Chains A and B, each alone.
Chain A
């Protein structure tokens, strides 16, 4: 199929349908409303179901239900709406059920603003629900990558039986870029022999959340973390950008990474040996990308007050090597301020 120009939110919706998603439950909120609008328009055409629920909480519990029945299901929202979904995300995680959740982040805390932000890293990567758990978190930096990651997210959810979060921001949702939908081979998906099929249709399956025996729950948690170990070993992704001879490394994801790339090019023109490490999976975090002896400083850039920076410090195992610069509340970084901050760290001498 030839390239078309699409808004991020629409492209994510189309990618989900291409990946076989047939159920979407959601509630509108800027800057992601075009995504439920797209699903409302397009899902019925392929025999799918769209429901605008009465709240985000009911939407995520409808996702839990559809996921338990073995469906490919998605919901989306933006920051405060994702906060409301946290309880349900924990339940889906505990039940080992597959679901894809899209967060087009906006400025917070609270109701905040409608402009783009990256301040939900802690909520989505560290887990905003209760208990011992992780979710796979994918962070696209372009609309094409958002398309590819959504398709991959459905596979990851089905393989590992876990919620997968697409963590993007309002700019990725609202921006238009050329995209193409290639029929990339999807992965081998295990049979869903756990799905609820209805009374009298074969063996009995159960989806459950309550474990009153602590020893049973501990055993399940240990199993959960054995699964997480496999995900960490097999699914970690990151990009190196102009890192071959780099002495300094910016670290950024999503929209920030695009702006940082522009700053890297400007600094390279002036002779600075700097590159960018861009985590594409935020959980599992690409720790191995930070085991480099030749890097003098990791310069973490985010559209937040500093959240991923904690993981960078842990990964490089030297807090003194990590510095942070960010903008918050929906303010978009400029490549000029990143260049200036980079220079203030590297000094004038080349």
Chain B
């Protein structure tokens, strides 16, 4: 249950893992449970499909959204608002940090490391095994290590977000889960959730052993 995760959830993963879609859905779920929720977009690498594009929708339902100090979602400027520290210090917040992809994107977290109490933090790595770079156990472990090296934090859980967008089937999810179970066996890090888009897999997947995390598309228009 998302409610049982630590107060500060840092969401990361390789480019294209679907971490932003997962982070937004996670924030919305917490918000729906009546939790005071904040989400920050620390992505200074990508210029398209960042959670800040959905700032208006999220703020409308009462989620605090933090991104650049320059209030224009389209700028190609690596400026992060100092406000990202507020929900770390204000313990009334449940805080989702949408970290940029890979070790390069993850360096932005350095600003927060000195004030983070590690006992309050879950560092979640979202994985799509249909992405060529994370399609094998070795690839996933390589990316896990590089994220840990860049941040100085250990990954505390994986999310199996294996998908081929609208061509995803239950078998796709199962295939990803199996690979992540192998990673889990080797690293000791649990697979926390298997996430999927509700409209695409209409029946609740039956053969998945991890906790299911149904999502809606926030970042993808219906024609994408």
| Residues of chain A having any CB pair with chain B under 8 Å | 3-7, 30-31, 113-115, 170-171, 174-178, 258-259, 261-262, 330, 334-335
| B49 A174 Cβ-Cβ under 8 A | yes
Specify the chain B residue showing the minimal Cβ separation from A262.
B223
Alpha-carbon gap, A98 to B112, bound state (A): 52
Q: Lowest 10 A-B CB distances belong to which pairs?
A: A174-B48, A178-B164, A262-B223, A5-B130, A258-B223, A259-B223, A176-B16, A178-B167, A30-B47, A4-B132
**23 examples of A-B residue contacts, CB within 8 angstroms:** A3-B130, A3-B164, A4-B131, A4-B132, A5-B16, A5-B128, A5-B130, A5-B131, A5-B164, A5-B165, A7-B15, A31-B47, A113-B74, A114-B47, A114-B74, A115-B48, A176-B165, A177-B165, A178-B164, A178-B165, A178-B167, A258-B223, A259-B223
Residues of A within 8 A of B15 (CB): 7
* Chain B residues within 8 Å of chain A by Cβ, number: 21
Alpha-carbon gap, A262 to B167, bound state (A): 18
Alpha-carbon gap, A123 to B140, bound state (A): 43
Query: What's the A-B contact tally at a CB cutoff of 8 Å?
Result: 57
B135 within 8 A of A: yes
Contact with A along B159-171 (1 / 0, CB 8 A): 0000111010000
Contact with A along B40-81 (1 / 0, CB 8 A): 000000111100000000000000000000000010100000
B186 within 8 A of A: no
B222 within 8 A of A: yes
Can you add 9 more A-B contacts, CB < 8 Å, to A5-B16, A170-B48?
A3-B164, A5-B128, A5-B130, A115-B74, A174-B49, A177-B165, A259-B223, A261-B223, A262-B223
Residues of A within 8 A of B115 (CB): none
Alpha-carbon gap, A268 to B216, bound state (A): 26
Residues of B within 8 A of A7 (CB): 15-16
Alpha-carbon gap, A335 to B224, bound state (A): 11
Task: Tell me the minimal C-beta distance from B196 to chain A in angstroms.
Answer: 14
Residues of A within 8 A of B224 (CB): 175, 258
Our pick among A171, A175, A330 for the contact of B74 (Cβ within 8 Å) is: A330
| A262 B222 Cβ-Cβ under 8 A | yes
Residues of A within 8 A of B49 (CB): 174-175
Residues of A within 8 A of B223 (CB): 258-259, 261-262, 335
Alpha-carbon gap, A113 to B74, bound state (A): 8
Alpha-carbon gap, A261 to B16, bound state (A): 25
Interface residues of B in 187-213 (CB under 8 A from A): none
**Interface-central residue, B47, B48, B131, B222, by most chain A CB under 10 Å:** B48
Residues of A within 8 A of B76 (CB): 30, 114
Q: Given A30-B47, A262-B223, answer yes or no on A3-B167 (Cβ-Cβ < 8 Å).
A: yes
| A5 B163 Cβ-Cβ under 8 A | yes
Task: Tell me the minimal C-beta distance from A252 to chain B in angstroms.
Answer: 11
Alpha-carbon gap, A173 to B167, bound state (A): 20
Residues of A within 8 A of B221 (CB): 259, 334-335
Specify the chain A residue showing the minimal Cβ separation from B48.
A174
Residues of B within 8 A of A262 (CB): 222-223
Task: Tell me the minimal C-beta distance from B177 to chain A in angstroms.
Answer: 16
Alpha-carbon gap, A41 to B221, bound state (A): 31
Residues of A within 8 A of B46 (CB): 174
Specify the chain A residue showing the minimal Cβ separation from B162.
A5
Alpha-carbon gap, A7 to B164, bound state (A): 12
| B74 A4 Cβ-Cβ under 8 A | no
Task: Tell me the minimal C-beta distance from A110 to chain B in angstroms.
Answer: 15
| A4 B130 Cβ-Cβ under 8 A | yes
Alpha-carbon gap, A259 to B74, bound state (A): 21
Interface residues of B in 115-165 (CB under 8 A from A): 128, 130-132, 135, 163-165
Alpha-carbon gap, A330 to B48, bound state (A): 12
Residues of A within 8 A of B128 (CB): 5
Specify the chain B residue showing the minimal Cβ separation from A2.
B130
Alpha-carbon gap, A171 to B48, bound state (A): 8
